[in-house]
Structure 1
Amino acid sequence: MAAPPADASVMQSIALMRARGLGVVFYPFLLMRQLASNGLPDPWSDAADQPVLPWRGRITTVKAPGQPGSTDGAAEAEAEVAAFFGTVAPGDFAIVDGAVVYSGPAETSYRRFILHYAWLCHAAGGVDAFCIGSEMRGLTQIRGPGNSFPAVAALRVLAADVRVILGSACKLTYAADWSEYFGYVDADGNRWFHLDPLWADENIDFIGIDNYMPLSDWRDGDAHADAGAGSIHDLDYLRANVAGGEGYDWYYPTEADRAAQNRVPITDGAHDEPWVWRYKDILNWWSNPHHARVDGVRAAQPTEWAPRSKPVWFTELGCAAVDKGTNQPNKFLDPKSSESSLPYFSTGARDDLIQMQYLRAMHSYWADPEANPVSEVYGGPMVDMTRAHVWAWDARPFPWFPNDLSRWSDGENWTQGHWITGRTLHQPLALVVAEVCRRAGIAAYDVSGLQGLVRGYAVPSTSSPRAVLQPLMLGHGFDAVERGGTLVFRMRDGRAGGTVEAGALVARDGGALELTRAPQAEVAGRVRLGYIAAEGDYEARAAEAIFPDEATTTVTQSELPMVLTVPQAQGIAERWLAEARVARDTARFGLPPSSPYRVGDVVALGAARYRLDRVALGAAAQVEGVRVESGVYQRRDRAGLRPELRPFAVPVPVLPVFLDLPLLRGTEVAHAPHLAVTGSPWPGVVAVYDSALDDGFALNTLINARAIIGATQTPLARARPGLWDRGPALRVRVAGGDLAAVREAEVLGGANAMAIGDGHVWEVFQFADAVLIAPGVYDLSLRLRGQAGTDGVMPDVWPVGSQVVLLDDAVQQLTLPLSARGLARTWRVGPAQRGFDDPSYVVQTQAFDGVGLRPYAPVHLRVAEVAGDLTVTWVRRTRVDGDSWAGYEVPLAEGREAYLLRVIADDAVVRSTEVGAPGWTYSVAMQAADGVAGSFTIAVAQLSDAFGPGPFRNVSVEAGA
C-alpha cells in the first residue's frame, strides 16, 4: 500500500534529516482556512462571518467567554471541548507497507490530526521532539464546571497517547503562546495558572513558548519615553527589555494609555509577587511555586508546578523585518489574513536591521548565566538556547524564494516578514568595522555606537585600513573620531550634543562668528551610485538621485563595493544629495580653550546645528563646522522592491545605438550623449566602459532596461513642424518591446517620442497611432515632426533602413566631460556579469558634438525690399525653457545673442557676416559689391559660443524683384 503523497513527503523529509544527523522537532501547525463569506458566525462578535484566515488562538466555544450566551464555565463548554478533541485512539492507526492506515471513527477531530502525525513520525524512524499543539490560547482558557480547564486535561491525555506511539526517547511539549504559557487572567481579574497541570505532567518534557514578547516601545521623533536610548536598534536598549519594560516593569491598561505612554507599574500589593502578573518574568515563574489569585486572595496551596523542574524551549521566536518590529514581534503582514497588521507605531518600511538586533539581543541576554541559571533538578539552563527555533528559516531555496512569485505566492510577504531565509549571512556593521580595526592592528577602538548591517562587501587585499573603511562610512553614514586615545565610531544622526550660546563665543580673526553659504553651482545637484544589487542575480546596478529644482549639470558619481538592496542604494544616494545641500552652510567661530567640544561633535548654534569638522587649539579654539539636519539621516528603506531573477542566458553581443540628442526634458546634461541597447537574449544588466585611448577603460554607466530599437521599412518624407503630419504611415520593425497608440493630448504632453536617423544625425518625432501589422512591425501615423529643434536637420526624406529608437526611460545618458566633446573615444558595451575584455562586448569608436548645446534654427525668416535695399528679419527660438506662454520673450539659452548670416549665389557663399539682433539690411551697394543678380539665398543660423552655428534657415530672394 502506497502512502498518500502528503504523508510520503513528511516521512521522506524526516528520514532525510535523520540521515544527515540533524535533530528533528515536529511541530504540527493548525491552519484556519476560513475564507471570505464563510457563513460561520463569529464567536467573538455578532458578525455573520468569521474573519478570514484567523489565528488558531481564536478557537473557542460557540460564543466566546464574555459574549452573551457563552457556555464558558458550564458543562456545555466541557462538551464542546470534548467534541473538538474527538475520541480517536492510538490503536485506530496502523502501519501497513510503510503507510499509515486509519480505521477509527469517521470524525475530523483534533486527536485524529495529532495522532496521525505522531504515527507518521514513528513510521519515519522517530523524531527528537514533538509538539502536541501550539498557540491554542482561546481553547486552553475555556472553563468547565468548578473553574476546571477541560482543554488542558484533554492535552494531558493526548500527551500520554503520543508517548505510547513515539516512546520515551522523544521529548514532548505543548508550544504555548507567549501570552498564554504563564497563566490566565479572567475578566474578573483572577489569576489562574491553568497550564500548570500540563507543564507538570510526566509526559511533558519541557515548557514550550512561542516567544514574541515586545522588546521596545518606540515612537518616531525625540519626545517619546524611550528616546533617551538614541535608537530602537541600540542593542543595550533591546537587551534591557528582554526582562524589562512592557510586561515586566509596567503595562498599558488601555490603548489610549498606550498612545499617551501612560505607563502603570506592575505591582502585587501585600503579597509582593509582581512576577505573577509579568509575562516576561520567566525566571521567577520558573523558580517559584505558583499560587492562584481568586477574588484577590492568594491560594494557600500551590499548583502542581514544581519550581526549576523542567527547561524552557523557545519553540518559536522572531521579529519581522519591518519598522519598529520589536514593538510587536508577533505582528506580520499578509494581505490574505485578517490577522495581518503592522506593529504599534510602525511606518511599514522594511528594516532588516531590527530583525537582526532582536535576535542578537535575545541570544546575548539568555547567554548570561545570571539571567539564565542552571537547574539543580535536571542540570541544565533554565532556557535551552540550543533549542531555540527562529521563525521562519524557510526550506525553499533562496533567492528563488521569495522572488519566484509564479511558484510561491507568499513571496510578497518576505520583504517585511519574519523570514530569516536569505538574511542569515548578513553581518552587523559594528563587527565588520571591528574586524577591519583588528586586522589593521588598532588596539583601542569603540564600535558600540554603530548600527547597521552589511549584506556583502568586497575588500581589496592591497587597500589601506582607511580605504577599506571609507566605503562603509559613506554607505552607512558614520564617522570615526578620536576620544581619549580610542578610535570611536558613531553614526551620524544630526542630533546636537550641546548648545553654544552667543555669549560663549570668543573673538577670532574675522569676528566671533562667520556664517557662509557656498554657491549653488558648487553643490552637486545629481548623485549617481554604483553598487551590487542584493537578493537576486547580484548584478551591478546604479541608483540616481536629483533635486527637482536642479538646473546645473554637475554630477557626482561613486562606486560602492557593497551589496545593497535597490531601496537601500536609492536611500544612500538621496542622503548624499541632501547632506550636500545642507552642508552648503558652514560656520567658523571661536570658543574658550576649556570648551568640551571636539571634532565630530554636533552643536546647536542659534536655530541651526553644526558638525565640527575642525578644531584648532590656541589662545582660543578656532572651530569650523558644517550644518546638519537630523531628518537627513532617518532610515528610508522602502518595501516591495526586489530584483527579478532571470534565467541563465549565454552572453551574446548586444546592439548599442549611440544618440547625440537635443534636450528633451531640460534636465539632461546638454553635451552628453545617450545610449540605447537591446539584445536577445537580454543579459539583464549591460555595462558601458569608455576610454580616451584603447586601454584604461573605466565603467561609465549601467543599463538595466532593454530599449526598443528598429529600422524603417518605408521612407519618411519631410513634413512641416508644429503641425500634425497626416501623411502615409511610417512602417517600422522593432525589437526590445512593444509600441502602443496614445491620445493626441498625451503626445502633446511628450509621449511616444522616437528618434529617426542615420547614426549621426537624428530627428525627433512623436506619433499617436501605432498599428501592429506583424510581429514586431508597426505602422506609425499622426505624427509631430522635427521636435526639440530637429526640424533644422530634417532631410527631404528618411530612406528605408533608417534607424529608429523609442526615447523612453530605457535610453540612458552617458557621462562625458565637457572637455571630451567632439573627441573620439572608444566604447565597450556588453553584459555586466562579464569583464569588458570579454568577446561578448561590442567595441565602437564614437565622437559626439553635444547636440544638446546646439541652437535651434530661427523661424519666420522674411525679406522686405525698400528702394532696392533688402531688410531680412526672423524670430529667435530657444533650446531651454521655451514651452511656457507666460513670458514676453523666450529665454536666451546662449551666453549672448548672435547670428551667422550668409548670402549664397550660384551655390557659393558670397557674403558671411555676424549680427547681434534678429534683423539685417542687405543694401544695394552690398548687392553690387557681391555681384548678386537674379535668384540667390539668404541663410541665417543662431550662434552658440559653446557649439557654434546651429542649423540654418533659408529664404530665396529674387534680385531686383
Structure 2
Amino acid sequence: MAEIVLSQAGSVIGSHLLPNGLSVFGQNLSGAVLGEAVGRLAGRAIDASLAPVSEGPRIKSLHVMESREGAGLPLVYGRMRVGGQVIWASRFKEYRREQSAGKGGPKYSEYTYSVSFAVALCQGPITRVDRVWANGEFVTLSEVNWRLYSGTDAQLPDPLIEAIEGGGNAPAYRGTAYIVFEDFPLDAYGNRLPQMSFEVVRAGRAEADSLSQHVEGVNVIPGSGEFVYATSIVRERRFPGIERPLNMNNARGAADFCLSLEQLSSDLPKVSHTALTVAWFGSDLRAARCRIRPGVETFDRETVPYAWAVDGMGREAAHLISRTDDRPNYGGTPADQAVIEGIQAMKTAGLAVTLSPFLMMDIPPGNDLPDPYGESEQAAFPWRGRLTVTDDRTASARAAIEAFVGEDGGFGFRHFILHHARLSVQAGGVDAFLIGSEMIGLTRVRDDEGRFPFVEALIEIASDVRAIIGDGVAISYAADWTEYGAYLPSDGSGDVLFPLDPFWASPDVDFVGLDWYPPMSDWRDGDDHLDRMAGFDQIGDEAYLQHNLSGGEAYDWYYASDADRTSQTRRPIADGAYGEDWVFRQKDLASWWGQSHHPRAAGVRDTSATAWVPGSKPVRLIELGVPAVDKGTNAPNLFFDPKSAESRLPHFSIGARDDLLQRRALAVANTFWRGQPMVEQVLNWAWDGRPWPAYPSREDVWSDGPNWQFGHWLNGRTGLISVAELIEDCAARAGTEIDAEGVDGVLEGFVLDSVSSLARALSPLADAFDFSVIETETGLRAEHDGTQPVAELALDAAIEDSLSATRDLLDKQPSAVSLQFISGDLSYAPAVIEARRTGAASELKVGLSYPIVMGEGQARILAEQRLTDILDTERQSLSLAPGVARGLEILDRVTVADADWIVHRIEERGLQRRLGLRPTRARPTLPQSIEPPSDGDAAIVRADPVLQIVDGPPLEHLGGAAVWVAAAADPWIGTYTLKLGSSIETLSEVATLRTSAGLGVLTAPFNAGPLGRWDEGGMIELEMPNASFSSIARDAVLSGQNRILIEHDTGWELIGWQSAELVAIDTWRLSGLLRGLAGSPVRAVAPGASVVLTDDRLVALPLTREAYGQTFLSQVDGGELGSIEFQDRASLPWRVGHLSARRVAGETIVSWTARGPHYSNNWDLSDTPTDAVFQIELYLEEALISQFSQSESELQLSSTTADKIRVAEISADDRVGEWGSIPL
C-alpha cells in the first residue's frame, strides 16, 4: 500500500524538481519517472518491513515444468501458457513385445515405457486447457488418457491417484487446477518425461456477470462445410495412403465440432438450447427460376471413412459452389451423416436442438441474371430475404410462388424443408424444427385475390413436417424483425395487413419465431448528438442500451431518410386514427403479442380481427445478435463480408473492433428479453462449430476468417477479462479495495507467477491501459486520465504571472519506443514491436515491457501511442487564488486558455494551490478487443495406411523372405501394427510397421518385354508420392540396385531400371529395364496397377511354406479387414531358359536350361540338379494332345504332329512353375 501511495507522490515531486529529466546511459528519464522510482523504493522499504520481498509479473521465454517443494502457483487471468509443477507420479510401466526378424530369423524383444503423473497448473478455478506442448512441440491429447480438474473448492481426489496411493492418502488439491495423465507413453520422448506446458483459460468474474451467465441459447453455424458438424474425423484421400483431415484443423487433434462443443460448454456453461443451421443453396432471386440444391466444394474428392451424400445424391449430382481465386465462395452443404453426428453429439452434451434449414444464395458477381430490383444484374451473394416475385397482386405471382415451393422430391423449397424433417428423425429426433427464415420478399407477395400464397405454402409445409416428426417437436418459422407483424404496402393504398397471422395461428405451429435485430442505439462520435445530450455518457451504458430495447428508433420515432438520420431529424411514431401505435412500432413486440390484430383497407380498420389470438403462443427469439464493431448496436442486423452485396458497417461506425460493446449489449438484451412474459427462449447469434482459435486464424482452410473481427461470433470473445475486474481482484488478494468501476477495457491474458506487491502487479496494466490509481476521500480509485467532467479555469482566477510552461529539449526526446509483449500468435513467446519517429534529433530509445498477451497489431498501436505521449512533453503550472476550484482532484480534466489539460499534480502552499497540468492524450484502441491468436499447426491425424502384401518373387537383396508387406501413409505417425489370422478371433500381431514404404500406381500402359536382356524400348510411367528414383550405371543394376515390383493378374514382376526422369510432381518415367527378375512372370499391365519400391522400408512376414494355400485375414491398427491367400510364389520354380528346338537327322531336339536361386552360376558345375523334374505339354492348334514329365533338360521327338511345346519345372511339392513355350 505504501508503495502505491509513495510512488504517486514521488512522481509529482520528481516532475516538479526535474521538469527536463536526466539522460542516463543514452536513455532519457523524466523527473516524474525518477520521482516515482524513488517513491516506490521508499514505499517498498516500508512494505518490506511488514511483508516478504516480492517482484511483479515478467515476460518469460521459457515455460518450464518442474517439481519444486514450496513452489508457488501462478494466478492466470484470461489465457496464458504455464509450465506447472509435477505434484504426483507413479512408477514407470514397462511393456515387452517380442517379434520375429522374418524367414528363419531370430526373435527379438522391444521395450516401451509409460508413466502416470499429475501436473498442478495454476490457481483455480479455470475454464479449460486448450493447447499442450511437449518439449516445445504441439501435441495432441486425442490418443492420451487424461483428466482435468479445474480447481474448484469441491473437487474430489483423482481415482487413479487414490487407487495407487490408497484410500484417504490422495489429496483433492482443492483450489488448484491440475491435470492427470494416465499411462502416458514415453517412447517418443526418449523414455523420459517430456517438458510440458499448457495453455490455460480462466474466465473471470466480469465474464461471469455477462455472457457466461446470460447466454442460455445459441445458433450453431456456419451452416456450410461438407463435414463441418461431423464428429468422425473425415479425411480426404488424395492418393492411396495420402490423406488430410477435412474437419480436424486444430491443435488438439479432435474433430473440430467436438472441440467447439467442448468450448461452448466451458465458455457458456448456461447454454441449454442450440439451433443447428444447415445450408442448401439458391440459384436465383426470381422465385420462379430459383432452384434449391445441396452444394459441394468440388466434384473430385474421395473421403474416408464415408463419402459425402445428401438426400441420397453423391457429390457429382450436387450444385457446385461458385469459386473466386480458385477457392469456393461457401463451404459445401454438410453431409447428411455429418448432420446426424452433430445432432447426436449436441444431444449427448445435454443440449436441446432446433434444426434450422438455412437458405444461402450462391449468386456470384458477374452473374448476368435479370434483377427483380432493376439493377444490371442480381446482387452478389445476397440475403435470402431478397428472393421475390415482381408482379405482386397477380395470378402469375401465385404461379411463381408455387414453382418456387415445388413438390417433395424436386429442387424446390418444400423438398428442402421436408428432407431436413426426415433427417431429424434419422438423427433420433430434435426438440424444435424451423421451416425456413427471413423470407420477407415472399411472405408479402399477394396473388390476384389479395391472398399470400407463400404463407399458405408455409402452413401446408408445417402440416407435412408435423406428419414426419410427430407431435413432440415444436414447429415454427423464423421471421425477420421487420416481417413478423404489420405490413404497410408502399403502393399508397393505406392498407395495413398482417400476412403471417394465419401461419402463427396454425395448429401445426407451436411458437412465434423471430430473428430479432432492431437498433439498440443511435450513437455518434462527439458530445453534440441527441443521445449524448440526453444525459447518456457512452454507447455501452447499461441504462442507455436498456432504454433502446423498448424505446428509441423503431419504437418512439423513425428516420424517414438517410438525410434525416444524418441530421437526427426524428419523426414520432403514432397512430392518430385509432391509437394503435404498436401497429407501426416494429420494436413493440409486447403489444403485438398481447393485442388482437385488425387489418385496415385504405386506412379503415376492419372490425374483424385476424386469426391471431392474443398471447396464444410463446415467442422465441431465434436469433439475437450484435456485431463486435464500433457502434454495432446502431444496426445489429448488418454484417461485414466483403464478398456480399449486403456487407455494411453500422451507421456512423469508424470500422474499429469493439468486443466490449458486443458483450455489454448481449448481456443487457438477454436479461431484458428473458424477463418478458411472452418470451420463452432466446438464441444468440452465433456460436461457430469451428473451434477457436483455429477459426478464424486458419485462413488457409476457411476463407471467411477475416469476417470474424467485426462479426457476430461469440467464439473467442467470451474468455476476455475485464481490466476493472483484474484490478479489483488483485486488490482484494492484497487485502485492500480499489474502486475500478471507471476503468474500461478487456485483455486476453495476464499472469501473476510469483509473490508480488499490488503496485508491481498493477504497474504494467496501468501503463498499457492508461489508468492511474489515486487516493481520494473515499479510498483508492482507479480511473483513466481525464474521465472526470471538464472544469473551466479562467486566467483571472489565477495569481498574476503564475502560468508557466515547460517542454523537453528536442535532443532529449526519444526517437523510438520498443515494446516487448507476450505474443499469442507465437505460442506465448516474447515479441518486440518498435515505433519510430522520422527525423529525430537524438538516438534515445525508450523500452517498455508489458507481460500481457496481445497480438502484433495491438502492440503496434500501443507502441505508437506511447511514443506520441512521450513526445508530447509540454507541462503547465498554474497557481490558483485561495478558494478557487477546491474540488479538483488528480486526473480531473480542466480547460485553461481554450485548451484541455489533465491535473497530474496538486501542491498545497498555505491557502494557495498550485496545479501541475499536462496535455490530454488519446486513449489507445487496444483495450476494447483482442486479435485471434494463431492456433499453430493443426494436430496430425494418422492416415489409414494402404497395405500391399507381396506374395511374389524372392527379394534376395532384402533377405529373401517369402512374403513382404509394404504400407504407405501420409501423414505417418509412430508405428502401425499388422495382424494376421485365419479368423477375426485369431488375429495376432505379426509385424510392426515403422515407416511409410514406396507405393504407387502405373499412369500409362506397360507392355510385355524381353526376358534375360535389356529392354531398351520399354518405359514405366508411374506416380509414387514420398519416393525418389535415381539413375545408375548398368553394373549397379546388375548387382541388385534399383528394383520395383509391378502387380499383374498372376502375381508380381520384379524389374530393374537404369534411368529415372521426374516428369511431373510425384510422377516418374523409368527406362533401361531388366524384366522378369528372380524368375517373376512378365506380363502386359494396364494403368492403375500397383507398384512397390523394394527398399529397406519393406517388412518381412513370418509365413513359411507350411502355410501354403491358407487364406489369412489382415488388419492394421483396427482398420478395415483385408485378406490374402498365401501361394508362396517365392519358392515356385523359375521359367526355364534357352528353350529351343532344332532338327537333327529327322528328329526334333528340344532343350532348355533350368533356372533358379538353387542352380549354380559356375560354368564348371552341372546346370541341373539330379532331382529336377519338368512338366512337358504338346499342342496342336492350341489343343493339348500330350503331357508328361521327365528329369532331363532335353527331349527328342522322332515323330510328332504338335506345333507348340510348353515346358515348366515342377517343385518338390509338385507345384508347376512359370511355363516357357516355343513353336515346333
Verify same fold: TM over 0.5.
Answer: yes
Aligned partners of 1:53 and 1:209: how far apart in 2?
A: 23
Contact 1:268–1:274 under 8 Å retained in 2: yes
Aligned to 1:43: 372
Residue 355 (structure 1) shift: 2.2
Aligned partners of 1:321 and 1:120: how far apart in 2?
A: 34
Aligned to 2:100: none
Aligned partners of 2:777 and 2:619: how far apart in 1?
A: 44
Contact 1:135–1:210 under 8 Å retained in 2: yes
Aligned to 1:749: none
What letter corresponds to residue 32 of structure 1 in structure 2? Answer: M
Aligned partners of 1:31 and 1:579: how far apart in 2?
A: 49
Aligned to 2:864: 574
Equivalenced residue count is: 606
Change (3 A) 1:262 1:634: farther
Of the structure 1 ranges 489-498 and 166-175, higher mean CA displacement relative to structure 2 is found in 489-498
Aligned partners of 1:450 and 1:476: how far apart in 2?
A: 8
Contact 1:143–1:149 under 8 Å retained in 2: yes
Contact 1:248–1:279 under 8 Å retained in 2: yes
1:346 is aligned to 2:653: yes
Residue 472 (structure 1) shift: 2.5
Q: Of 857, 877, 881, which aligns to 1:587?
A: 877
Contact 1:444–1:485 under 8 Å retained in 2: no
What letter corresponds to residue 760 of structure 2 in structure 1? Answer: A
Measured against aligned partners, the alpha-carbon deviations of 1:474-530 in whole angstroms (never above 9, x if no partner) come to: 2222334455515444334678612111122246xxx43232223334444422222
Aligned to 1:83: 403
Measured against aligned partners, the alpha-carbon deviations of 1:149-177 in whole angstroms (never above 9, x if no partner) come to: 22112111111211121122211121111
Aligned to 1:719: none
Aligned to 1:383: 679
SS in 2 for 1:527: strand
Residue 237 (structure 1) shift: 2.5
Whose Rg is larger? 2
Contact 1:275–1:281 under 8 Å retained in 2: yes
What letter corresponds to residue 464 of structure 1 in structure 2? Answer: S
Aligned partners of 1:605 and 1:171: how far apart in 2?
A: 66
1:157 is aligned to 2:444: no
Contact 1:437–1:445 under 8 Å retained in 2: no
Q: For structure 1, which runs of at least 5 residues remain unmatched after alignment?
A: 64-70, 89-103, 375-381, 651-961
Residue 31 (structure 1) shift: 0.8
Equivalent positions of 1:319-468 (< 5 A) are 319-366=626-673, 369=675, 372=676, 374=677, 382-384=678-680, 387-442=681-736, 445=739, 447=741, 449-460=742-753, 462-468=755-761
1:282 is aligned to 2:589: yes
Residue 268 (structure 1) shift: 2.0
Measured against aligned partners, the alpha-carbon deviations of 1:746-774 in whole angstroms (never above 9, x if no partner) come to: xxxxxxxxxxxxxxxxxxxxxxxxxxxxx
Q: Of 262, 283, 286, which aligns to 2:569?
A: 262
Q: Of 228, 241, 246, which aligns to 2:553?
A: 246
Q: Of 760, 763, 779, which aligns to 1:470?
A: 763
Contact 1:111–1:158 under 8 Å retained in 2: yes
Aligned partners of 1:621 and 1:282: how far apart in 2?
A: 61
What letter corresponds to residue 622 of structure 2 in structure 1? Answer: T
Residue 562 (structure 1) shift: 1.5
Change (3 A) 1:582 1:360: farther
Q: Of 933, 937, 943, which aligns to 1:647?
A: 937
Contact 2:693–2:932 under 8 Å retained in 1: no
Aligned partners of 2:586 and 2:897: how far apart in 1?
A: 47
Aligned partners of 2:506 and 2:765: how far apart in 1?
A: 54
Contact 1:571–1:637 under 8 Å retained in 2: no
Aligned partners of 2:736 and 2:611: how far apart in 1?
A: 57
Aligned partners of 1:292 and 1:627: how far apart in 2?
A: 65
Residue 403 (structure 1) shift: 1.8
Aligned to 1:612: 903
Residue 306 (structure 1) shift: 2.5
Q: Of 394, 397, 402, which aligns to 1:74?
A: 394
Aligned to 2:795: 502
Contact 2:476–2:511 under 8 Å retained in 1: yes
What letter corresponds to residue 541 of structure 2 in structure 1? Answer: D
Coordinate RMSD, CA, aligned: 2.9
Residue 11 (structure 1) shift: 1.3
Contact 2:798–2:878 under 8 Å retained in 1: no
Contact 2:694–2:935 under 8 Å retained in 1: yes
Change (3 A) 1:350 1:294: same
Equivalent positions of 1:693-732 (< 5 A) are none
1:26 is aligned to 2:346: no
Aligned partners of 2:307 and 2:843: how far apart in 1?
A: 72
Change (3 A) 1:130 1:621: farther
What letter corresponds to residue 888 of structure 2 in structure 1? Answer: Y
Measured against aligned partners, the alpha-carbon deviations of 1:59-86 in whole angstroms (never above 9, x if no partner) come to: 110x2xxxxxxx2122221222122112
Contact 1:243–1:281 under 8 Å retained in 2: yes
Aligned partners of 1:148 and 1:535: how far apart in 2?
A: 58
1:55 is aligned to 2:349: no
Equivalent positions of 1:897-908 (< 5 A) are none
Contact 1:517–1:586 under 8 Å retained in 2: no
Identity %: 39
Change (3 A) 1:456 1:309: farther
Aligned partners of 2:645 and 2:524: how far apart in 1?
A: 25
Residue 613 (structure 1) shift: 1.8
Contact 1:206–1:311 under 8 Å retained in 2: yes
Residue 624 (structure 1) shift: 2.5
SS in 2 for 1:392: strand
Change (3 A) 1:486 1:129: farther
Contact 2:398–2:446 under 8 Å retained in 1: yes
Q: Of 468, 472, 481, which aligns to 1:169?
A: 472
Change (3 A) 1:577 1:361: farther
Change (3 A) 1:292 1:8: same
Contact 2:737–2:780 under 8 Å retained in 1: no
Could you list the structure 1 runs, at least 4 aligned residues long, displaced by more than 6 angstroms after superposition. 636-642
1:14 is aligned to 2:307: no
Contact 2:356–2:434 under 8 Å retained in 1: yes
Contact 1:583–1:626 under 8 Å retained in 2: no
Equivalent positions of 1:858-873 (< 5 A) are none
Contact 1:582–1:629 under 8 Å retained in 2: no
What letter corresponds to residue 505 of structure 1 in structure 2? Answer: A
Equivalent positions of 1:140-151 (< 5 A) are 140-151=443-454
Change (3 A) 1:480 1:293: farther
Contact 1:198–1:204 under 8 Å retained in 2: yes
Contact 1:532–1:561 under 8 Å retained in 2: yes
Equivalent positions of 1:729-748 (< 5 A) are none
Of the structure 1 ranges 298-307 and 559-568, higher mean CA displacement relative to structure 2 is found in 298-307
Equivalent positions of 1:820-831 (< 5 A) are none
Residue 444 (structure 1) shift: 7.2
Aligned partners of 2:752 and 2:802: how far apart in 1?
A: 45
Residue 119 (structure 1) shift: 0.1
Residue 183 (structure 1) shift: 2.7
Residue 588 (structure 1) shift: 2.9
Aligned to 1:559: 849
Q: For structure 2, which runs of at least 5 residues remain unmatched after alignment?
A: 1-305, 311-334, 941-1224
Aligned partners of 1:439 and 1:292: how far apart in 2?
A: 63
Structure with more relative contact order (C-alpha pairs < 8 Å, separation 6 or more): 2
SS in 1 for 2:817: strand
Contact 1:532–1:538 under 8 Å retained in 2: yes
SS in 2 for 1:556: strand
Aligned partners of 1:587 and 1:20: how far apart in 2?
A: 64
Aligned partners of 1:486 and 1:637: how far apart in 2?
A: 25
Aligned partners of 2:825 and 2:496: how far apart in 1?
A: 48
Contact 2:598–2:606 under 8 Å retained in 1: yes
TM-score (norm 2): 0.47
TM-score (norm 1): 0.59
